[in-house]
Structure 1
Amino acid sequence: KVRPQIEHSLLTEKRLAAEAEAMQVFAENLRHLLLSAPAGSRTTLGVDPGIRTGVKLAVVSEAGDVLAHSTIYPFAPKEDKEGSIAELARLCREYNVELIAIGNGTASRETEAVVAEMMAANTDLKLTRVTVSEAGASVYSASELAAAELPELDVSIRGAVSIARRLQDPLAELVKIDPKSIGVGQYQHDVNQTGLAKTLDAVVEDCVNAVGVDVNTASPAILAYIAGLNKAIAQQIVEYRKEHGRFDTRQALKNVPRLGERTFEQAAGFLRIQNGSEPLDASAVHPESYGLVEKIVAAKATTVKDIIGNTEIIRQVKAEEFVDDKFGLPTIQDVLAELEKPGRDPRPEFRTAKFREDITEVAQLTEGMQLEGVVTNVTNFGAFVDIGVHQD
């Protein structure tokens, strides 16, 4: 009588432990993907490879706006390689493209070869080509969010736009996709979906708040993950920005409907304002600590502008001298660290992996060969690395 109960109890225990482990692996992979290095504000050509339906192209400005789009047919049945190379060169030249982001899906290496040929024929163009993970791009293309952001573009072109933006800022683009669709987990369909969704949402929230968000360029999708904000308030911020122009200070956020004092208190430290009238608004220093910074500045007979990033002055500040009822030593040390490296980004510096051009198939690999690649997924039984042979 007792045996079935014990069996059931043990199986449940093991299943829950296995689920927790699988969720943990997914969460860690997602964190690494979200915090991958951004290429930054550079004009980028997004390339979504395809064979029969053509290769979709989209030029995206430094700010992430679509400047132009096109479709080329370098492969069968049309095989218009010459025309394709000419069109690629035209777009790169006309819009001063710096980066070419090529999706890693079907026909990725063949498309990369066409792009390489164009670059070889136009050496005056200063271009860098990078292979970008397409995971979840098709989900975004067909989503309501993409339709609202890019209503005038065909679904297939939206994929190319997403690929370009992913290279510029992976975090800002990937938050638009349901984390489960990004596909960097193991056994993700076998685990409790509610628990998985909660775990992954917490990871996205952590990453967004660790990096911080520029209020004047952020989409509602990324703003919604900021502590204290939700989808409705994020939308209000964007609407207010459209109507009244850019925010000049953090305090101006209080004019946004439904953004009350409590919400401001929670969110302000994670919202950045670049080139505003208050230099501290571009840092992670919370407005509550601005008075403390003023005290430090007065004690050192300098200005806020001059102390920011000035290691020499900051190292001379004795934190314990400024401790009072409101600010303890750890808070003051945090503020000083932030002043030294304001708005520091926890993400690594951008660099690219160069695939060997003569290696395109698994059959060409030999033991002992050393290749550069991109880690696309890590599981408990091993890591998947994209080395440009159609199969991680």
Structure 2
Amino acid sequence: MTMSSEISIAKELNIQTKQVQTTIQLLDEGATIPFIARYRKEMTGSLDEVQVAAIRDRIQQLRDLDKRKEAVLKSVTEQGKLTAELESQIRTAATMSALEDIYLPYKPKRKTRASIAREKGLLPLAELLLAQDIRQLQPKAEAFVDAEKGVESVEQALAGARDIVAEIINEDAEVRNTVRRVLEKKGKFVCRVVAGKEASAQKFRDYFEWSEFIKDAPSHRVLAMRRGEKEELLSLDITVEDVDVLPQIEKRYIKSVGEAADQLQLAVQDSYKRLLKPSMETEMRVLTRQKADEEAIKVFAENVRQLLLAAPLGAVSLLAIDPGFRTGCKTVVLNAQGSLLENTAIFPHNGAGGEAEAQKTINHLVSKYDVGAIAIGNGTAGRETETFVRKLSLTIPIVMVNESGASIYSASEVAREEFPDQDITVRGAVSIGRRLMDPLAELVKIDPKSIGVGQYQHDVDQNKLQGALDDTVVSCVNAVGVELNTASKQILAYVSGLGPALAQQIVNYRQENGPFSSRKELKKVPRLGAKAYEQSAAFLRIRDAKHPLDASAVHPERYALVESMAKDLKATVQDLLRDEQLRQQIDPKRYVSEEVGLPTLHDILAELAKPGLDPRDQFEQFSFTDGVNSVKDLRVGMRLPGIVTNITNFGAFVDIGVHQDGMVHLSQLANRYVQDPREVVKVQQKVEVTVIEVDEQRNRISLSMKSGDTQPRKRQDRPERQTEKREKRSDNNKKRDSNGGDMATKLAQLASKFK
């Protein structure tokens, strides 16, 4: 990688070149993003995970570009056409599209009208047209008439020459860049419903007669239109006015008036309409798709992050219910570690007899196992089951749990390994209960795409999506840390430096040798070498270990430093962990060295104060409004509690307990201008919403989070209203409190004791 590339990345990210160089070196040596961000702050200048990931991604793009440059140079050299100037252009190309524009004239191609004209010997005539220094074109053209070569007339000779000129114009890098800029600035998406498919395309009716500038189209609209096109319900075109393009090309090529200039004008028009326009429109389709994909993936990854880092209830015995009507409600009891103790089925929705028997069963299980909370899946019969359980007047938290993906887990290989003797209904109920205990530990067992918090996640580039989601899960797992002696192989696989194979080795070692007593013991795990130990050890926690720091996020390479701090105070490491006054006597500046700077020292002191602190929020109790169980129960003006289930660029979806999430549009999120929904809400946040519109026919619910807003919303029939320019919000606007509504004190206290 060249110095110029490193300087370029530094400028793009607004950081120092040295930071880029060091980060690249660490990545190339096999360091992970969480490790670099947490434990190599002195080397990187305290870059965070987002910045390290940006360097990794950008350097990969540039390396791919360099690889392509070498292939282009090899191809042009083999053709004997490489000049010093061309080599310089190739080596300095800043983007893949610029490189491909330069290479286009030399790229091996199938037979074209221009190549056929060249074979007929018409290249000199094309060069005469381009030179524009002939007064009498007819005599010159007549010289190229040759029946043996297939040129029967002057008109055919000129047509062939124009074909050559058209291809030259199409392969002109500057012209292509000009057209590209015009398309970016003035190009439009034009969307229409396919004739005769109006009825089946109702979900896309906003796009039946729709156009907007490409530069203004947000990602969700691009993806929606592309989905409609893919389903053959919409036609989608990219257009630009000829008058915005042709004069610029003509200005570059037509330098005079006369017969040659007239021929050039025809060639320019042909080149643009036959070659340039289709090619550049296709490129623009790809670019807009990539941009929309990137934005949708970013939204999805952030939603997944928020869901993975949702507040855990903690280690508490739990009763979990996977609701159902006809087939009953599968009910399981889990101990505080999430192990299955008992399972049964209840039928509270099958008449008075079934309800009475279900009451006895629930009360018996709660008493028998000293159950501390009840988790109920939010799918079919969820609200009805919640109503039934609440009527039992139990004094423990009753929580609705998002069950998206639980059915996928229950049929997975992971679930079969965990519960080989149980059917899928039992596995699904167990998953619902474990999600309440520890969302992160349970959700890592399923494909994040199945969690149900995405924006057109099935329409975007699946490889890029998978990469972004893997990064997100790795980031979340390592931010929280993993209990080495109880973690599943699925969550261990996401720990920095491990992966599925080493995770399985750790589980095997644990089964054969019992619990780990120290982090050092990891070195005895087969195939877990020095590098894997360096990268993983600090993210693995051991409660009640021989060394007190094994339960913290302090890296083993810094144990000696902490022991030195304790020794200087004539104390032990355990004393430092217990005594705040002792810790306050530590002057971090005394311990600065070539390897350890203040950033790491401050991190160490923070860990000593709260070793192994879980960064996730504390669990809060929540319940939906009684009596509001379906869309039919909703009335405009109702004020309801809800939980944010999904965030998109145009707003947020909120579960209000009616089996259909409501939509809070961007304009309804707050009593101020909101540019990004994530300024106001996060996934799993508890919120208060007002019903402003109910469309039972389309099963759509419009909600508002504005205070004092009880007025029905005027219909927004046209998507363009969502992109009207607004005034920039003031810097001193306060962000809305992201903690949702106030919770009942006694319930919060009750829930917190299970942490």
Q: Identify whether the pair has TM-score above 0.5, normalized to the shorter chain.
A: yes
Where does residue 388 of structure 1 map in the other structure? 657
Displacement after TM superposition at 1:77 (Å): 7.4
Question: Whole-Å Cα distance in 2 between the matches of residues 245 and 74 of structure 1?
Answer: 43
1:309 to partner: Cα distance:
5.3
Equivalences for residues 144-223 of structure 1 within 5 A: 144-223=413-492
Give the letter for the 1:66 counterpart: L
- Equivalent-residue separation in structure 2 for 1:77 and 1:27 (angstroms): 44
Please give the residue correspondences for 1:4-15 in structure 2 after superposition, counting only pairs within 5 Å: 4-15=278-289
Q: Distance in 1 between matches of 2:610 and 2:443?
A: 26
Q: State whether structure 2 residue 305 is matched by structure 1 residue 31.
A: yes
Aligned equivalents of 2:279, 2:303: Cα separation in 1? 36
CA distance in 1, matches of 2:454, 2:641: 23
Deviation at 1:6, TM superposition (A): 1.6
CA distance 1:193–1:79, change in 2 (3 Å): farther
Partners of 2:603 and 2:352 lie apart in 1 by 61
Decide which of 53, 64, 69 is 2:327's aligned counterpart: 53
C-alpha contact 1:102 1:129 (8 A) present in aligned 2: yes
The residue type paired with residue 24 of structure 1 is K
Q: Partner amino acid for 2:509?
A: Y
Output the CA distance in 2 between the equivalents of 1:92 and 1:27. 38
Counterpart residue identity of residue 158, structure 1: R
Once residues 421 and 577 of structure 2 are traced to their aligned partners in structure 1, the CA distance between those partners, rounded to angstroms, is 43
What residue is the counterpart of 2:538 in the other structure? Answer: 269
Alignment pair present for 1:102 and 2:371: no
Structure 2 CA distance for aligned equivalents of residues 304 and 213 of structure 1: 22
Worse-matched range after superposition: 357-366 or 176-185: 357-366
State the alpha-carbon separation in 1 of the partners of residues 601 and 300 from structure 2. Answer: 36
Report the CA distance between 1:48 and its aligned residue.
0.2
Matches within 5 A, 1:242-257: 242-257=511-526
Quote the offset at 1:314 in angstroms.
2.1
Which amino acid letter does the alignment assign opposite residue 181 of structure 1? S
Separation (CA, whole Å) in 2 of partners of 1:78 and 1:116: 17
Per the TM alignment, residue 321 of structure 1 is displaced from its structure 2 partner at its CA by: 0.4
Question: Which string of whole-angstrom CA distances, capped at 9 and with x for unpartnered residues, describes residues 297-344 of structure 1?
Answer: 111222211211543322321111011233222211211111112111
- CA distance in 2: counterparts of 1:387 and 1:325, whole angstroms: 56
Aligned residue for 2:143?
Answer: none
Over the aligned positions, Cα root-mean-square deviation in angstroms equals 1.4
Further displaced range: 255-264 or 88-97: 255-264
- 1:116 corresponds to: 390
Provide the secondary structure at the position in 2 that maps to 1:246.
coil
Mapped pair 1:313 → 2:582? yes
**Structure 2 unaligned spans of 5+:** 1-274, 662-755
Q: Does 1:338 align with 2:612?
A: no
Quote the Cα distance in structure 2 between the aligned partners of 1:309 and 1:211.
Answer: 22
Distance of aligned partners of 1:112 and 1:209 in 2 relative to their CA distance in 1, 3 Å threshold: same
Q: Find the aligned partners of 1:333 and 1:76 in 2 and give their Cα distance.
A: 61
SS at match of 1:324: coil
One-letter code aligned to 1:49: P
How many percent identity over aligned positions? 52
Match of 1:230 in 2: 499
Compute the displacement of 1:388 (Å): 1.3
Q: Give the C-alpha shift of residue 371 in structure 1.
A: 2.3
Structure 1 equivalent of residue 407 of structure 2? 138
Letter in 1 for 2:473: V
Q: Is this contact kept in 1: 2:400–2:623, CA < 8 A? A: no
Q: Contact 1:60–1:161 (CA<8 Å) still a contact in 2?
A: yes
Report the AA paired with residue 644 of structure 2. Answer: V
Find the aligned partners of 2:384 and 2:481 in 1 and give their Cα distance: 38
| 1:351 partner amino acid | E
Alpha-carbon shift at residue 381 of structure 1 (Å): 1.9
1:50-95, Cα deviation, whole Å (9 max, x unpaired): 1111100111110111011000112237961000111111111111
Distance 2:622 2:364 in 1: 26
- Larger CA deviation: 63-72 vs 315-324: 315-324
Deviating more after overlay: 279-288 vs 8-17 = 8-17
* Contact 1:309/1:342 (<8 A) preserved: no
Farther off after superposition, 74-83 or 352-361 = 74-83
Q: Deviations over 1:278-313 (max 9, x none)?
A: 110000000000000001111122221121154332
Maintained 8 Å contact 1:205/1:227 = yes
Deviations 1:205-246 (Å, cap 9, x if unpaired)? Answer: 000000000001100000000011011111111111122111
Q: Secondary structure at the match of 1:268?
A: helix
Name the amino acid aligned to 2:348: P
Measured at CA, do residues 92 and 355 of structure 1 come closer, stay the same or move farther in structure 2, by a change above 3 Å? same
Superposed CA deviations along residues 84-138 of structure 1, whole A, max 9, x for unmatched, are 11111111111110010000000001111121122x2xx5xx4110000001000
How many residues end up aligned between the 2 structures? Answer: 387
SS at the partner of 1:391?
coil
* Structure 1 unpaired stretches of 5+: none
Aligned match of 2:108: none
> Which residue of structure 2 lines up, in the alignment, with residue 42 of structure 1?
316
Q: Tell me the secondary structure at the aligned position of residue 467 of structure 2.
A: helix
Kindly tell me: are residues 327 and 67 of structure 1, through their superposed partners in 2, closer, same or farther at Cα, counting changes over 3 Å?
same
The one-letter amino acid paired with 2:384 is E
- Equivalent positions of 1:357-372 (< 5 A) are 357-372=626-641
Measured against aligned partners, the alpha-carbon deviations of 1:256-293 in whole angstroms (never above 9, x if no partner) come to: 11111211111001000011121100000000000000
Task: State the shift of 1:14 in Å.
Answer: 1.0
Choose the corresponding residue for 1:64, options 338, 346, 366: 338
Matching residue's letter, 1:143: S
Aligned equivalents of 1:383, 1:304: Cα separation in 2: 47
- Deviation at residue 150 of structure 1 after TM alignment: 0.9
Q: Within 1, Cα distance between the matches of 2:349 and 2:565?
A: 64
| C-alpha displacement of 1:387 | 1.7
Compared with structure 1, are the counterparts of its residues 309 and 191 closer, same or farther at alpha carbon in structure 2 (3 Å cutoff)?
farther
Contact kept? 1:99, 1:129, Cα under 8 Å: yes
Distance in 2 of aligned mates of 1:311 and 1:287: 22
**CA separation in 1, counterparts of 2:583 and 2:283?**
59
Instruction: Name the SS of the counterpart of 1:200 in structure 2.
Output: helix
Single out whichever of 6-15 and 309-318 deviates more from structure 2: 309-318
Hey, what's the Cα distance between the residues in 2 that align with 1:317 and 1:172?
36
1:86 aligns with 2:388: no
Task: Give secondary structure in 2 for the equivalent of 1:308.
Answer: helix
Could you tell me which residue of structure 2 aligns to residue 295 of structure 1?
A: 564
- Counterparts in 2 of 1:311 and 1:371: CA distance versus 1, 3 Å: farther
| TM-score normalized by the length of structure 1 | 0.96
Question: How far apart, CA to CA, are the structure 1 residues paired with 2:400 and 2:579?
Answer: 38
Q: Which amino acid aligns with 1:330?
A: P
Q: For the Cα contact (< 8 Å) 1:52–1:77, is it kept in 2?
A: no
In 2: Cα distance, 1:115 partner to 1:258 partner = 50
- Give the structure 2 partner of residue 76 of structure 1: 350
How far off its partner does 1:165 sit?
0.5
